[in-house]
C-alpha cells in the first residue's frame, strides 16, 4: 500500500515511524513532514488544508490510504472532500468527517452529545452575545472556580479557569461581546470545575467496533512541577498507574461504549481516532473534552507500546472490519520528553542548529518543529523534538528519556526533567 500522512509534528513522526515498519506499507509520504520524517518516507511540500493539492498528489502517486494527523483539516472537511469527489471517493481517509469532527471543533456540540447520551461530564450551559446577560447571571449561581470555554478551535488557548466572579464576568463579556477569541468565542460554554487527575484515553474506531489504544498522561505546563504557562505538551507517559484494569473497565462502560453507540444512534459515521480527555475524580471518569485525532506528545508514547502491525489496524478502520484485527500492547513503559525552543510558549528562538542526536541509542528522536538548511538540521517550531523511550519499568523509562534529551543541544533548548516522576 501507498500511504499519505497529513501533518508535520511529533505525532506524525511517530505515525511515520510505526507505519514504515509494516510489511504492508510500500511507499510512505508525509505532507508536509519535517526534517526527521525523511527517515521513514518522502516529504511532500503541501499544506494540510490544501485539499486540491492533496487530490493531485494522491491521484498522481497511487495513494491507497490517507491518515490525517491534526484536527484542522478534519474540522475543515478533508474526509468529506474525498467522499464527494468522483476520483477520490474510494480512497479511504482515517479521520472523521466534518460533522463528527465537531466533537472537537465545537465544545457546545460535544457537551450536547455527552448530555444526550448520558456520558459523565461537568454541568454546563452555553451562551452567545444575545444571551450575555443570562450568562452573567448564570455565573452568580454556580461555584468557583468556574470554567469558560470558547466554543470553536482556539489553538489550545480558548479555555479559561476563573477563580473569582468578577474575573469570570469580565472574561465572559470579553469573549462574547468583544470576540476575544474571534469567531471561536461567538459561543461560550460555562462549565463546572472538576478536580482530580487528567488522563488521555485513545480509541480507534471504524464506526462499528472499536479498539482501546494505550492510555497516557501528558504534561501541559512549561515549568517543572506543572507550573507556568500552558504549552502544546511537554511530555507523556504510558501506561498510567491509576488507569488499571478496573478503572479502564469503568471508562469503557461509562464513556467509550456510550460514545460509540451515541454516534451510531445519531447517524454520525466515524472512522478514525477519538481522543477522550478525562478527569479522574475519586476513581470516577468525567469527560473534559473529545478530540477527533490523536494527541501530541501522547502518540509518541502510544505508538511505542503498540506491538501489532499498525497498517493492519488502519486497514481495519478503512474497511470496517476492525473487530477482526489484533491489537497487541506492550506491558513496558513508554516515556516522551519534549524539547522546546528558547522562549516557548511565548515568542521563541528559531533556526538553531541541532546537534547530538547521533548520540542517542536507547530512545527514538521524533522530530516536531525541525527543518534543514542544507547542511544542518535546524529548529523551526516551538516544540522541536520528542525523545521517546520504551523500558521495562517506569523509573528506567523516565530516567532514560530525560538523560537522552540532555545529550542533544541547540541554542536556547529547554525540556522538563520531571516528566512522569509524579507517577512513581
User: CB of 415: closest distance to ligand ADP in angstroms?
Assistant: 20
Interface characters, 259-298, with Mg ion (x: CB under 5 A): ------------------x---------------------
First to last CA, the chain: 42
**Residue 92 or 420 with smaller CB distance to ligand ADP:** 420
User: CB of 141: closest distance to ligand ADP in angstroms?
Assistant: 16
Interface characters, 226-265, with Mg ion (x: CB under 5 A): ----------------------------------------
**Residue 58 or 240 with smaller CB distance to Mg ion:** 240
How many CB atoms neighbour CB 77 within 10 A? Answer: 17
Helix, strand, coil abundance in the chain, percent, nearest 5: 35, 30, 35
Give, in order, the Cα–Cα distances in Å from 27 to each of 31, 63, 297: 13, 9, 25
Distance of alpha carbon 128 from alpha carbon 312, whole angstroms: 45
Q: Taken in order 151, 157, 159, 165, is the CA torsion positive or negative?
A: negative
User: CB of 287: closest distance to Mg ion in angstroms?
Assistant: 11
User: CB of 276: closest distance to Mg ion in angstroms?
Assistant: 10
Partner whose binding site includes residue 368, from ligand ADP, Mg ion, none (CB under 5 to 8 Å by kind): none
Number of residues that bind Mg ion (CB under 5 A): 1
User: CB of 326: closest distance to ligand ADP in angstroms?
Assistant: 31
Distance of alpha carbon 402 from alpha carbon 267, whole angstroms: 46
The answer to whether the beta carbons of residues 291 and 104 sit under 8 Å apart is yes
What residues from 113 to 152 belong to the interface with Mg ion (CB under 5 A)?
Answer: none
**Residue 277 or 412 with smaller CB distance to Mg ion:** 277
User: CB of 124: closest distance to ligand ADP in angstroms?
Assistant: 8
**Residue 62 or 225 with smaller CB distance to ligand ADP:** 225
User: CB of 277: closest distance to Mg ion in angstroms?
Assistant: 5
**Residue 158 or 369 with smaller CB distance to Mg ion:** 158
Distance of alpha carbon 416 from alpha carbon 219, whole angstroms: 9
Partner whose binding site includes residue 147, from Mg ion, ligand ADP, none (CB under 5 to 8 Å by kind): ligand ADP
Partner whose binding site includes residue 95, from ligand ADP, Mg ion, none (CB under 5 to 8 Å by kind): none
Residue corresponding to grid cell 479521520:
95
Distance of alpha carbon 401 from alpha carbon 406, whole angstroms: 9
User: Under the rule (CB under 6 A), what is the footprint of ligand ADP?
Assistant: 122, 147, 149, 156, 158-159, 191, 193-194, 198, 277, 288-289
**Residue 32 or 277 with smaller CB distance to Mg ion:** 277
The burial of 128, by beta-carbon neighbours within 10 Å (0-12 exposed, 13-18 middle, 19 or more buried), is given as middle
**Residue 262 or 277 with smaller CB distance to Mg ion:** 277
Residue 407 contacts by C-beta under 8 Å, 6 or more apart in sequence? Answer: 356, 359, 360
User: CB of 40: closest distance to ligand ADP in angstroms?
Assistant: 28
For residue 251, whether the previous peptide bond is cis, meaning omega lies within 30 degrees of 0, is no
Least Cα distance to 271 among 231, 353, 211 occurs for: 211
| Grid cell at residue 391 | 523500558
**Residue 191 or 298 with smaller CB distance to ligand ADP:** 191
Q: Taken in order 370, 373, 375, 376, is the CA torsion positive or negative?
A: negative
| Grid cell at residue 157 | 488557548
Least Cα distance to 68 among 42, 92, 94 occurs for: 94
Q: At what angle do helices 10-20 and 298-305 cross, to 10 degrees?
A: 20
**Residue 162 or 322 with smaller CB distance to ligand ADP:** 162
Interface characters, 383-402, with Mg ion (x: CB under 5 A): --------------------
User: CB of 220: closest distance to Mg ion in angstroms?
Assistant: 8
Partner whose binding site includes residue 198, from ligand ADP, Mg ion, none (CB under 5 to 8 Å by kind): ligand ADP
Partner whose binding site includes residue 194, from ligand ADP, Mg ion, none (CB under 5 to 8 Å by kind): ligand ADP
Strand, coil or helix: 392 = coil
**Which residues form the interface with Mg ion (CB under 5 A)?**
277
Amino acid at each position: 500500500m501507498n500511504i499519505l500522512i497529513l501533518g508535520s509534528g511529533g505525532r506524525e513522526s511517530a505515525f511515520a515511524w510505526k507505519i514504515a515498519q509494516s510489511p504492508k506499507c510500500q511507499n510512505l509520504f508525509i505532507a508536509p513532514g519535517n526534517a526527521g520524517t525523511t527517515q521513514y518516507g518522502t516529504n511532500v511540500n503541501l499544506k494540510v488544508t490544501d485539499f486540491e493539492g492533496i487530490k493531485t498528489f494522491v491521484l498522481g502517486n497511487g495513494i491507497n490510504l490517507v491518515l490525517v494527523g491534526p484536527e484542522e483539516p478534519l474540522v475543515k472537511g478533508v474526509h468529506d472532500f474525498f467522499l464527494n469527489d468522483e476520483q477520490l471517493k474510494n480512497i479511504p481517509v482515517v479521520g472523521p468527517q466534518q460533522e463528527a469532527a465537531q466533537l472537537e471543533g465545537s465544545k457546545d456540540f460535544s457537551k450536547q452529545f455527552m448530555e444526550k447520551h448520558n456520558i459523565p461530564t461537568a454541568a454546563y450551559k452555553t451562551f452567545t452575545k444575545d444571551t450575555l446577560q443570562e450568562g452573567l447571571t448564570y455565573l452568580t449561581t454556580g461555584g468557583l472556580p468556574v470554567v469558560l470555554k470558547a466554543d470553536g478551535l482556539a489553538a489550545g488557548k480558548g479555555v479559561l479557569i476563573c477563580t473569582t466572579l468578577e474575573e469570570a464576568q469580565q472574561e465572559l463579556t470579553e469573549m462574547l461581546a468583544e470576540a476575544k477569541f474571534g469567531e471561536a468565542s461567538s459561543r461560550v460554554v460555562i462549565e463546572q470545575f472538576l478536580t482530580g487527575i487528567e488522563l488521555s484515553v485513545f480509541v480507534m474506531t471504524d464506526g462499528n467496533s472499536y479498539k482501546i489504544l494505550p492510555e497516557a498522561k501528558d504534561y501541559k505546563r512549561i515549568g517543572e512541577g506543572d507550573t507556568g504557562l500552558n504549552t502544546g505538551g511537554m511530555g507523556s507517559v504510558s501506561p498510567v498507574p491509576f488507569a488499571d484494569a478496573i478503572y479502564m473497565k469503568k471508562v469503557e462502560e461509562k464513556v467509550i461504549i456510550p460514545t460509540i453507540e451515541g454516534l451510531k444512534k445519531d447517524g454520525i459515521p466515524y472512522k478514525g481516532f477519538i481522543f477522550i480527555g478525562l478527569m479522574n475524580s475519586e476513581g470516577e471518569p468525567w469527560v473534559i473534552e473529545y478530540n477527533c485525532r490523536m494527541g501530541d506528545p501522547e502518540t509518541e508514547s502510544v505508538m511505542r507500546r503498540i506491538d501489532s502491525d499498525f497498517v493492519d489496524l488502519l486497514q481495519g478502520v478503512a474497511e470496517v472490519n476492525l473487530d477482526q484485527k489484533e491489537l497487541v500492547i506492550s506491558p513496558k513503559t513508554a516515556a516522551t520528553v519534549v524539547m522546546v525552543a528558547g522562549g516557548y510558549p511565548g515568542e521563541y528562538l528559531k533556526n538553531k542548529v541541532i546537534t547530538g542526536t547521533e548520540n542517542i541509542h536507547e530512545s527514538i528522536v521524533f522530530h516536531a518543529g525541525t527543518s534543514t538548511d542544507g547542511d544542518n538540521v535546524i529548529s523551526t517550531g516551538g516544540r522541536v523534538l520528542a525523545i521517546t523511550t520504551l523500558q521495562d519499568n517506569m523509573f528506567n523509562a523516565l530516567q532514560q528519556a530525560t538523560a537522552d534529551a540532555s545529550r542533544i543541544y541547540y541554542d536556547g533548548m529547554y525540556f522538563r526533567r520531571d516528566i512522569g516522576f509524579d507517577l512513581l
